Chains A and B, each alone.
Chain A
Amino acid sequence: MSLPIDQRSLQLARRYLQVANGLLIPLYLLVAAALYGAFIYAPTEREMGDVQRIFYFHMGTAWNSFLTFFAVFVAGIAYLITRKSKWDKLGAACAEVGMVFTTIVMVTGSIWAKPIWNTWWAWGDPRLMSVMVLWLMYAAYFILRSSLPEGDKKYKFSAVFGIIAFLDVPIVWMSIRWWRTIHPVVITSSGAELAAEMLHALMVSLIAMTVLCVTLVALRTAQRLNSSLADEVFQQLDQERVSRQ
């Protein structure tokens, strides 16, 4: 007995896996380089000491959590126009990876803030606050998804929320900045001039984290495509069993 499987979907999942596979070796090299850059190559920061080294990963993940948010937005528009579920799979995968990265940004930020600002969570820092709002939006996105059964409705609503949330990000950013500049600023920007070595380490880390992000998104999209194909097969088997009885 052969079951009809959506060959194009299967092909697409395969292509995503190929992308992830192809990136694997560059990813290992880049992560090794980033680790070397952050822990050995870059000099120790004079005032903050070794804890500053976390900043290379912090920045790398922060950039990617914004990037994935943009990808969710684009995938959402693509879904609403084409109504092809592959776009929803991609959007959801981006949101998942984005949520993990945003969490890492907040955790690394806290680890850094404790010795430097003497507090785990700096409510006064506009960047930290903006990332927190981003995290809340990702969380809301998944809570919405989990309340809907698979199907066009779920994909549409997720897309609409993703689009609205992305449009909101610049306004959130502006409003939090203004809010903090009006109130007495407890914490000044840490944007001291970076030594050339530090900048190199940062660039390598940014690239490594971006490749990691793309690899994870490709893997998760492939998994989501495959798991929906598997669901279809189970469904057909179920129906065949019922009709035989």
Chain B
Amino acid sequence: MNQVALIWILAEKDLKVEYRSPQAFLNTVFFALLILVIFNFAFDPGSQATREATPGILWVALLFPGIIQLNRSFQAEREEGTLYGLILSPTDRGVLFLGKFIANWAFLVVVDFLVLGAFVIFYNFSFSVQMLWVAWIIILASVGFAAVGTVFAAMLSSIRTREVLLPILLFPIIIPIILAAVNGTQEILILEEAQFLDRWLQLLIAFDVIFVAAGFLLFDYVVAD
């Protein structure tokens, strides 16, 4: 069978499962919204300093729910042993990776867009063309995040302490994504003259390319027991 079709079959399966058990999705969105609200209490919402920190607030609110989703994505495959079903099938491991990665990425993008909408309202921005640029950053940042995260989550799914281990492994690796996303968002929303935006977008793309390729090649070693 066509490998591209297989990738889609795998991703579609995951998205269908998510769609039919929307509780997890709703929990993830709710958690992100809570973080936005908590930051509103933690910092004086009216001050200029808080306004300048809003890009950081947005990305922290997107980061933690992302971790939850990644952990869950393989936990669900462990419960009924479906991960073994996938491994035993003659499907190429790289294809398994791409299917899972695309499903995780799509899930994150949908969650992130909803959170972005809430962010615009809570922090009094406007739904303008600028927000499309922020959405573009979200799309690119989620690729790298989901790629590395999918590899690590697969690796940790057999370890009892996975919930703690995933952020410990993932956060140092995705520091470039956080820097690029926060600074890119800042250029768009706060500085209003996007001087270095291109640079940050290029950095995100470079990260995405390197780690999607790495995940494709290394996945074989992290799924087999």
**Cα A157 to Cα B200 with chains together (Å):** 30
CB-defined interface of B209-225 with A at 8 Å, one 1/0 digit per residue?
A: 01100100010011001
Is B105 at the interface (CB under 8 A from chain A)? no
Specify which chain B residues have a CB less than 8 angstroms from the CB of A168 in the assembled complex.
172-173, 176
Within 8 A of B (CB), among A166-219: 167-168, 171-172, 174-176, 178-179, 182
Is B203 at the interface (CB under 8 A from chain A)? yes
Is A29 at the interface (CB under 8 A from chain B)? no
Specify which chain A residues have a CB less than 8 angstroms from the CB of B210 in the assembled complex.
167, 171
Is B139 at the interface (CB under 8 A from chain A)? no
Is B50 at the interface (CB under 8 A from chain A)? no
Q: Which candidate, A49-57, A91-99, A136-144, is the interface stretch facing chain B?
A: A136-144
Is A148 at the interface (CB under 8 A from chain B)? yes
Main secondary structure on B side of the interface with A = helix
Residue of B152, B168, B183, B207 touching A182 (CB-CB under 8 A): B183
Are A175 and B179 within 8 A (Cβ)?
A: yes
Are B207 and A163 within 8 A (Cβ)?
A: no
Also in contact, A164 and B196, with CB within 8 A (given A156-B222, A174-B203, A175-B179): no
**Cα A163 to Cα B155 with chains together (Å):** 14
Are B179 and A144 within 8 A (Cβ)?
A: no
**Cα A99 to Cα B207 with chains together (Å):** 25
Is B161 at the interface (CB under 8 A from chain A)? yes
Residue of B152, B165, B179 touching A147 (CB-CB under 8 A): B165
Specify which chain A residues have a CB less than 8 angstroms from the CB of B199 in the assembled complex.
178
Specify which chain B residues have a CB less than 8 angstroms from the CB of A182 in the assembled complex.
183, 196
**Cα A163 to Cα B215 with chains together (Å):** 11
Residue of A153, A159, A165, A179 touching B172 (CB-CB under 8 A): A165
CB-defined interface of B196-207 with A at 8 Å, one 1/0 digit per residue?
A: 100110010011
Is A35 at the interface (CB under 8 A from chain B)? no
Tell me the A residues contacting B by CB distance below 8 Å. 80, 133, 136-137, 140, 143-144, 147-148, 153, 156-157, 159-161, 163-165, 167-168, 171-172, 174-176, 178-179, 182
Tell me the B residues contacting A by CB distance below 8 Å. 148, 151-152, 155, 158-161, 165, 168-169, 171-173, 175-176, 179-180, 183, 196, 199-200, 203, 206-207, 210-211, 214, 218, 221-222, 225
User: 4 tightest CB-CB pairs across the interface, nearest first?
Assistant: A175-B176, A136-B172, A175-B179, A171-B176
